[in-house]
Structures are given as structure tokens and as C-alpha cells.
Amino acid sequence: MDHRLLEIAGNGNALRADRIGFAKLAKLAFDGCDLQPLLQETLRKIGEGTASAGETIDLSVIAQLLGNKQAGLDIQAQVLSFQRLFRSPCVSANPSLRVLALAAAMDVGGNTPIEFLIEDFDIELTTLYVVPGTPLSPLPDHDVAIVVASDSAECRDALKEMAQFASRWPRPLLNAPHRVGNLDRDKLCRLLKGVPGLQIPDTLVASRVLLEGLASAAVALSDIATDLAFPLIVRPRGSHAGVGLAKLDDPAALAGYLAERTEQDFFISPFVDYSDTDKLFRKYRIAFVDGHPFAGHMAIADRWDIWYLNAGMAFDMDKRREEEEFMRDFETGFALRHRDALRAISDRVGLDYFTIDCAENKRGELLLFEADNTAVVHNMDSPDVFPYKPPHMRMIFEAFARMLAKHARRDRERAA
């Protein structure tokens, strides 16, 4: 054990702040509950000087869920200046496993929402926000640790800080920080290039100056990449959840797009038409746990830029019936059909837990859009509308809990 970590390991248990946590707050928001009373109550406590650090970090989450991202981040920054350890609710007073999550100071979408994966198990979760320049101390007692920070630019310094200690961490450390950094779109494209049965569109980083030259015809697409052609998919580098995502058919459309954006760096890639014979697009989320793929969800829409919520799955029985079939037959259908490509993705990415968003191209190959360690995998959907989902979500959650327990057990056996 590294001597600096040895000095601080086990000293942080009394310094953790209890919080409601992202999973429970997100569930309240998802169900349409009004979070304003909780927000106002916390603000009142802050004004009186009686709010705990846990309540204040919850306030940061509430503000973001209510749409005020910057206010939430400002609150978070203030809290993290004096408190960086937080304990999430646990179903047991005597948990069988203690997990330490290493997070970055990011918005609510920037760290793996691990609470969703373990909230029904007797697993204690403590989250340590790694703030560069601040010591990783004190560390609470834990059986296994996992990096939950994302590959985004805002997390890079935190990931570097984690990487300094990764090889000497006192307990098993999952989702190694140097592998998380490979998930950025251009790096992932290079990492997975040449996998048989897999199509991943070439993704390039382009500056605003370069795109302005392309829009004005001062730069040709062939000057950027030999096979690049319109239509293009463009998004600001570092953006999430479709912010700034656009399909641009020609230089004029690119000029209009840039006129509405202020970012300086973008990702560009060729558009791939993955519509089926019925003109609908089908997009899948697959969760990898300990190397094994699981069905997360399937979204069907008449638009290429699909998210589960904009696909209207809750309002279309035929779509839900098709998703149910996909999830029920996943092992003998989708996973078997793309077995080799899925295995290669898992091996090359090398993370203990991550997700992919993908489709099937017109040749029947796996078409990969992105890999992510922070995508939300949850069981918030109504069981009345989606009765087929809970068993499949439970499979993912149980596999995740088994993976954590396996690493903790092996560590104890080695120590013995």
C-alpha cells in the first residue's frame, strides 16, 4: 500500500456527510414531484446556518434537476471547498460491502450514477470528489473503489489525479482512470477501428476556424479527411445529451449552425442512415458489466437523433412490444448476432462497467455511436407501462453487485 494512502486510509468514516443522493432526487423529479419545497427548506436552513454539508450538496443536485445548472455547480463548488466525502442512503445499517466512488466536480451527468445500480442492495456507497490540488484524504474504510468520473474535458485533471495513485490503491480499483480517458469520441474511434462486424464512423476534432473555412468554401472536405462528405454530424466537443448536435447537409447549413454556437472546438463525423425498411430508426443501449453485455433499452423513432424520452415509447404499445421482444430475446438474438463485435468492444475498452449506444446498419453490422461510463441505467420507468423492464434492470444491478463483491472477496483472499 502506498505510504501516503496508508496514512489516510480508514480515517474518513467520521467525516462523511449523509445525503439524499442523486438517485432518489432524480426519481422524485422523474415522477413529477415538486422539488421546490425541498429547495426552499434547504435554503432556509442555509440562511439559519443549520444546513449540513449533505443537505447542501443535495441542493446542488436539486438546482440542476430544476434546470439551473450553473447555480447547482456554484453550490457544489462551495460545498467541495470544505467537504468532499458524502454517504448515500443504504438499505442496511450493517452493509455487507463498502464501496468508494471517485468522482469529479461535474454536473449531475458527468459522473456514473452508481446509486441507481446498488440502491436495493446492502452496499454502502461513499463518494469522494477528487479536486486537483487537494489531498485525497481522508479515505474512508472501503472494500472496493470505482472511478465514476467521465472522459469529459472538465474531468481530465481529476482523472490525472486519480491515475497517480491507481496502481497503488489500497483496495481493488475498478474502471481504471486511464481507460476512462479512451472514451472520448475521437479516441474511441481509433481504439475500435478495424473490429470485424462493427461500424464506427470516423470522428474528428475540428476547430471553429476550420469549420468556418469549410462553410465559406475556403477549405474542402477532402482537405480534412479523404472520405469525408456531407451530410455531417456536428456537435461541440465536450457536450452531452445532444446539446448542439446537428445533421448538416451542406456548407450553408454549417454556416448557419456556427452562427448560433459560441464553442471553439467540435466533433465532426459522417452521417450514417441507419433507418430500417419501415423508415424508422432503432437505437439500443447496452450495459457491459464485468465483460458481459446486458440489454438496457431500445428506442424507436422516425428521427435519427433518438433519445429514449423523445422516442415516445411510453405512448406507443407497438414500440414497447418490440422493445420487450428485444430485451426478452437479447441473449439469443441481438447479443448472439453481434457476439464477436461486442466481445471486441469490451476487450478493447477494458472497463469493468460502461455502456454503449448503438444500432444496426443496413448491412446488419453493429453501428456504434458512443461508449460511456456515465449513461443512466435505471429502473424509474413505470412498471404499469413497462412491466417487462424491471426483471432486466434487476439483471444488470445484480451483475454489478456480484462484480463488486467478487473483487472485494479476491482482495480479502490475497490479504489472507
Listed by start position, the domains of the chain span 3-180, 202-270, 281-405
Q: What is the pLDDT of residue 139?
A: 85
> What is the CATH code of the structural domain delimited by 281-405?
3.30.470.20
Q: What is the pLDDT of residue 133?
A: 85
Q: Check: pTM over 0.75? Answer yes or no.
A: yes
Q: What is the pLDDT of residue 373?
A: 96
Q: Give the Å distances, CA to CA, from 154 to 109, 150, 372.
A: 12, 9, 15
Element (H, E) at 173: strand 173-174
Q: What is the pLDDT of residue 134?
A: 87
Q: Are 202-270 and 281-405 in the same CATH fold?
A: no
- Dihedral through CA 331, CA 336, CA 338, CA 342, nearest 10? 60
What are the φ and ψ backbone dihedral angles of 111, each rounded to 5 degrees? -130, 150
**Cell numbers found for residue 159:** 482523472
Q: Give the Å distances, CA to CA, from 155 to 104, 106, 149, 357, 365.
A: 6, 7, 6, 21, 33
Q: What is the pLDDT of residue 2?
A: 40
202-270: in CATH 3.30.1490.20: yes
Residues of the chain with pLDDT below 50 are: 1-11
Q: Give the Å distances, CA to CA, from 363 to 133, 297, 360.
A: 50, 22, 8
> 10 — alpha (psi -120 to 50), left (phi > 0) or beta?
left
Q: Look at the chain and count its residues.
A: 416
Q: What is the pLDDT of residue 13?
A: 54
Q: What is the pLDDT of residue 115?
A: 97
Q: How far apart are CA 319 and CA 342, in angstroms?
A: 24
Q: What is the pLDDT of residue 183?
A: 94
